[in-house]
Structure 1
Amino acid sequence: MELNQHRKTRIRAGAARRALRVGLLATAGLGVIGATAGAAQAAGSANEGVAVANDGAHTLANRAHETRFQDSFTVHQYGALYAASARNQAMAVSAYCSAGDPCRSVALSFQIVTMAGTNIHLNAVNLSRAENIHCDGCQTLAGAYQFVVSTPRPFTLSAAAERQLAVIHRKLDALGKSTAPISQIKSQVDALAAQVTAILKAAAATAPKGPGVDALAQMEPEVRVHRVFDEH
């Protein structure tokens, strides 16, 4: 069997650093994608308080490449915003292998977005799909995790937090060499996501608060996690 492992680590910092209090975030949640499998992609930009993030992992296993694994782990730090769009997706496909010589296809995508502002309009979409096409006995798993961090005022992740996240990404990469059943891979990924959540909550708690702001009126830092899995 052939193993194809693609590694992608990106930490993006940008957008204006104006000190604004954060408002409620309106999130649009989980779904299923119907795109064809391909190379993983990531895109992120921020301009004048508007940000767009697009990340994903895609795998296709077949008789020519019986084992495929790909993960995406991207951090977008946008600062003060009034509008943002965040899209994260994972798709895994196994096609035309036999029960005697099955395929294995795993796609995992972690997207982290930090932002601050007043009454931010956020469209957050997190998608996954796993599909077997004439592939009896194949193992196919797609998992997407989206972490949205909102704070009263802009902040950046510390060097220590970035190192901790890098360690988790290496552990995610290492799953590409694992021969464990898909159910175990899923549990291990959930455990890594829990570690990411803990790191982000600790980091968000250090975000600055405005001078003279009533503590009761000050919105607390928030970390929202969107998780969606599909498997066959």
Structure 2
Amino acid sequence: MSSHRKARSRTNPISQRALRLGLLAAGVAGVATAVPAQAATGTGVSHAAFASDHVFSHADRAHHTQARDSFTVRQFGQVNATAVRNQANAVSAGCSADDHCRSVALSFQIVTVAGEHTHLNAVNLSDAANKKCTGCQTLAGAYQFVVSTPTAFSLDSATRRRLDDIHHRLDALTRSTLPAAELKTRVDGLAAEVTQVLDNAVAHAPKAPAGKPAVTLHRHLDGWPGH
């Protein structure tokens, strides 16, 4: 049996330190970030915005149940370009039918943007994986709600209270012991409520000749047993 060792390359110590700092910053900001880029003129109007939300759960023989959820509201106001990402990942690993695991990850992301010619890049993903886990229940659900209006718009206090109520009920569902199939149905019901609340909110938003307010839902669910 032969072995091969890669030749060691020489790296500038300053470059190595810069790389470590960059990786550290990426790790800190990777779970939930929202970054508006302000206009250079100092007017306070956001011309570009970025938001990323990610929920991850992992259940195994040491931690048989792990359930996590996120419910975020990002209001960016007037923008020229927006990139938003929402992701949920759930993993169950190494359990058996007699000693099964349960892993649940749910992410609700609400984003509001205003502008008549806004460029929007929206990504919404979920993935549920069973790794040598017989009889385990694994569910990942990503729900992304994009509210676009031609003129400046923000959610009022009554709308925020309704969304807070749905958030509390999502927390309770996430922590429940409902079978994965029923949990999917109940979470879909909450998503429908969010859509209705947002539809009602934008119905009173200012109109403009170039377009009308709209609410778009991106939904992705993945789960075991069954898809």
Task: Give the TM-score taking structure 2 as reference length.
Answer: 0.80
| CA distance in 1: counterparts of 2:222 and 2:81, whole angstroms | 30
* Alpha-carbon distance, 1:208 to partner: 2.0
- Residue 76 of structure 1 pairs with residue 74 of structure 2: yes
Q: Which runs of 5+ in 2 are unaligned?
A: 1-29, 39-46
The residue that corresponds to 1:45 in the other structure is 35
Q: Which of 145, 151, 166 is equivalent to 1:147? A: 145
Higher helix share: 2
- Structure 1 segments of 4 or more deviating over 2 A? none
Alignment of 1:1-232 (within 5 A): 41-48=31-38, 49-209=47-207, 217-232=209-224
Number of equivalent positions: 187
* Alpha-carbon distance, 1:177 to partner: 2.9
| SS of equivalent residue, structure 1 residue 190 | helix
| SS of equivalent residue, structure 2 residue 171 | helix
| CA distance in 2: counterparts of 1:84 and 1:180, whole angstroms | 37
| CA distance in 1: counterparts of 2:32 and 2:180, whole angstroms | 25
Residues 92-120 of structure 1 show CA distances to partners (whole Å, capped at 9, x for unaligned) of 00000111110000000000000111321
| CA distance in 2: counterparts of 1:120 and 1:181, whole angstroms | 41
Task: Give the TM-score taking structure 1 as reference length.
Answer: 0.78
Q: Percent identity over the alignment?
A: 55
| CA distance in 1: counterparts of 2:147 and 2:68, whole angstroms | 25
Residues 123-148 of structure 1 show CA distances to partners (whole Å, capped at 9, x for unaligned) of 10000000000100000000000000
| CA distance in 2: counterparts of 1:129 and 1:175, whole angstroms | 19
Larger Rg: 2
Are 2:139 and 2:223, in contact at CA under 8 Å, matched by a contact in 1?
Answer: yes
| CA distance in 2: counterparts of 1:225 and 1:209, whole angstroms | 21
Amino acid at match of 1:117: G
Amino acid at match of 1:65: H
| CA distance in 1: counterparts of 2:175 and 2:109, whole angstroms | 22
